Amino acid sequence: MHADSQTDLFAGDGGVVMLADGACVLRGFATQASAALLDAIDTVTTIAPWRHMVVPGGRRMSVAMSNAGALGWNSDARGYRYATLDPLSEAPWPPMPAAFTQLARDAAARAGFAGFEPDACLINRYAPGARLSLHQDRDERDFSQPIVSVSLGLPAVFLFGGPKRADPTQAVPLQHGDVVVWGGPSRLRFHGVRPLADGEHPATGRCRINLTLRRAG
């Protein structure tokens, strides 16, 4: 699926792979911006540190998370919600870095969703072994707006399913700089991430970082 990562690296924008109607991978779309994105992630996570949230039912997520933007996604024993304040500090989430907004806007437009203006960015950090089970992104208010998902650091296998949890999934290998966009008829498709394989990446060290940019409010 990602046969020519070398070409992608130098092309910056290595092409579009359609996953479904309204869903695609933009190979290497964030490669050029990756250093600026990682700098901004450092700034955000200095203010709103990485934490392992708890899901309703009590399990602690293996993925570490933070947020930037007017709204931040949070999970605790009572449920999932977007909120303006970081529950750890009770201060607003750090502002959305300009590099995030620009990349999200450009990637959405490239995927056919012009005018995307994210107000929430969930930042996920996967250490080796961390995974994200199949879920839908459905805590946002307006499902006409897409999700823009940016992969940085170690490669991962993204699972892209259908509208029902039991639907078959496509296993999509994602590399540093790849961006997945899903919206329109694919907006509520189930998706997840297989347990991260161990490794070392020059940009991030021993982890993968994913940004998911949303219009939440």
What residue ranges bind ligand SIN (CB under 6 A)? Answer: 122, 124, 132, 149, 158, 191, 193, 210, 212
Distance of closest approach, residue 72 Cβ to ligand SIN, in angstroms: 13
CB atoms under 10 Å from CB of 100, counted, come to 25
Q: To the nearest whole angstrom, how small is the minimum distance from the Cβ of residue 110 to Fe ion? A: 20
- 158 contact, one of Fe ion, ligand SIN, none, CB 5-8 Å limit per kind: ligand SIN
Task: For ligand SIN, give the closer residue by CB, 76 or 91.
Answer: 76
**Cα 141 → chain centroid:** 18
Q: Least Å distance between CB 25 and ligand SIN?
A: 11
Among Fe ion, ligand SIN, none, the one that 45 touches (CB under a kind-dependent 5 to 8 A) is: none
The tokens 């579009």 sit on which residue? Answer: 16
- Smaller CB separation from ligand SIN, 99 or 159: 159
Kindly state the tokens that stand for 24.
């695609």
CB of 39: closest distance to ligand SIN in angstroms?
20
Give the residue with the Cβ less far from ligand SIN, 92 or 173: 173
Closest distance to Fe ion from the beta carbon of 90 (Å): 26
CB of 107 or CB of 122, closer to ligand SIN: 122
Retrieve residue 5's tokens. 């990562």
Both structure tokens of 123: 């930042």
* Closer to ligand SIN by Cβ: residue 101 or 151: 151
Could you say whether residue 13 binds Fe ion (CB under 5 A)? no
Shortest distance, position 212 Cβ to Fe ion, whole Å: 6
In angstroms, the CA 105 to CA 213 distance is: 10
Block residue for tokens 């879920």 = 135
Binders in 122-181 for Fe ion, by CB under 5 A? 137
Classify 111 as helix, strand or coil.
Answer: coil
Residues from 61 through 80 that contact Fe ion (CB under 5 A): none
The residue among 71 and 132 lying less far from ligand SIN, judged by its C-beta, is: 132
Q: Pick one of Fe ion, ligand SIN, none as the site partner of residue 149 (Cβ within 5 to 8 A by kind).
A: ligand SIN
Collapse the DSSP code of 65 into the 3-class scheme (helix H, G, I; strand E, B; otherwise coil) and give the result.
strand
Measured CA to CA, the distance from residue 142 to residue 136 in angstroms comes to 14
Closest to 174 measured CA to CA, from 39, 37, 45, 31: 31
**Number of alpha carbons in the 13 Å side-chain half-sphere of residue 22:** 15
Amino acid type, 184:
G
Alpha-carbon distance of 83 to 94, in angstroms, equals: 12
Interacting residues with Fe ion (CB under 5 A): 137
